[in-house]
Amino acid sequence: MHRIINWNEMWKAIHVASPGRVKKDRDPAAIWDKKAGAYQKVTRGEKIGTEKDLEFIQLRPDDTVLDMGAGTGRLAVPIAGRVAHVTALDASGGMLRILEENMHKEGHSNYSCIRMKWEDVVIGRDIEPHDVVIAAFSLGFYDLAAALFKLDAAARRAVYLFWHAGEWRGKEEMDLYRAVFGEQGALQKGYPDYIFPVNILHDAGIYANVRVYPAIWETVHESVDEAVESWVTLHCPDLSDTTPVREFFTRVLHREEPGGPLVYRAVRPTAVIWWEKENQHAWS
């Protein structure tokens, strides 16, 4: 088939246009180790979004599952209660330490952690193939085709990807990004959307299933001050004027019950992309 557009080269060109993405490529562990605590705080209320994501993943009790870019275990922890074994891979030791704490809280021991960059992993040497491979919002690589190829090679039965559809965040959040970083800076904070991996897969002979759905993401905070501190830690540690961030959280946070924590609920269009190995051609 004649390819008019090289989607992977387009992805690379967009990727290198962001100094933040290039910096993250060099040492993602150094960046995420500093953010692990704040990330755990703001994601501890993501039960609704997690349950929705899990509805798409077909699992069997005897499955082995690889969660690439597992973070603090948003998916890996509940999946451990449904399958034989989960391997959580992440470049950040700080993230994996919190994941292990969360596994312990839930009483799970059927898991292992691998601290590596996905780019450095060799399938068959560092990781054996698993029945199911998952990558949830962890595709921020320079060479996306190589990362997808490795995910496919690591799976015996199926691969599930979760990625954003349209802008990186919802409208309210994007307005905050623009207020803090400017129009161009806001564009550089995220990544191209799901159509890129879908078309890269298609050109390789993998005709993935796609479903776009409204994912609900909740962040939970004890106060506006805590929300501001967490957001700044995650998104702009050098920010001197936090006024736009404070105004944003003062406006959007609410208590769902008297005395309860402050909650921000965002709806983000999300794509789940999946394919089953037995129904696909070999990667060319």
pLDDT at 27 over 90: no
pLDDT digits (tens, 9 = 90+) for 183-226: 888 878 889 999 999 999 999 999 999 999 999 888 888 899 99
pLDDT, residue 171, reads 86
Domain boundaries 7-168+190-216+269-277, CATH class = alpha beta
pLDDT, residue 284, reads 41
C-alpha–C-alpha distance, residues 161 and 275, integer Å: 9
pLDDT at 32 over 90: no
Q: Is this model's pTM higher than 0.85 or not? A: yes
pLDDT (average), residues 230-252: 92
> Residue 23's pLDDT band (boundaries 50, 70, 90)?
confident
C-alpha–C-alpha distance, residues 195 and 271, integer Å: 9
pLDDT digits (tens, 9 = 90+) for 221-231: 889 999 999 99
Q: Which residues face 132 on adjacent strands? A: 65, 158
C-alpha–C-alpha distance, residues 220 and 277, integer Å: 38
- Judged by DSSP in three states, 264 sits in strand
pLDDT, residue 1, reads 56
- Judged by DSSP in three states, 4 sits in coil
CA angle 192, 283, 4 (to 5 degrees): 50
pLDDT, residue 124, reads 96
pLDDT (average), residues 116-133: 97
Contacts of 18 (CB under 8 A, 6+ apart): 188, 189
Hey, what are 115's tokens? 């601290």
- Nearest Cα neighbor of 58 from 194, 158, 207, 208 is 158
> First CA to last CA across the chain, in angstroms?
12
3-state secondary structure 189-250: HCCCCCHHHHHHHHHCCCCCEEEEEEEEEEEEECCHHHHHHHHHHHHCCCCCCCHHHHHHHH
pLDDT digits (tens, 9 = 90+) for 49-104: 889 999 999 999 999 999 999 999 999 999 999 999 999 999 999 999 999 999 99
Strand segments, DSSP code E, in the chain are 64-68, 85-90, 111-115, 130-136, 155-164, 209-221, 254-255, 262-276
C-alpha–C-alpha distance, residues 175 and 168, integer Å: 12
C-alpha–C-alpha distance, residues 231 and 73, integer Å: 20
> Residue 283's pLDDT band (boundaries 50, 70, 90)?
very low
DSSP category for residue 186: H
Q: Is the dihedral of CA 47, 41, 58, 8 positive or negative?
A: positive
Pairing of the two strands 111-115 and 85-90: parallel
Report percent pLDDT > 70 for the chain: 96
> Are residues 149 and 68 in contact, defined by beta-carbon separation less than 8 angstroms?
no
- Judged by DSSP in three states, 111 sits in strand
> Are residues 142 and 206 in contact, defined by beta-carbon separation less than 8 angstroms?
no
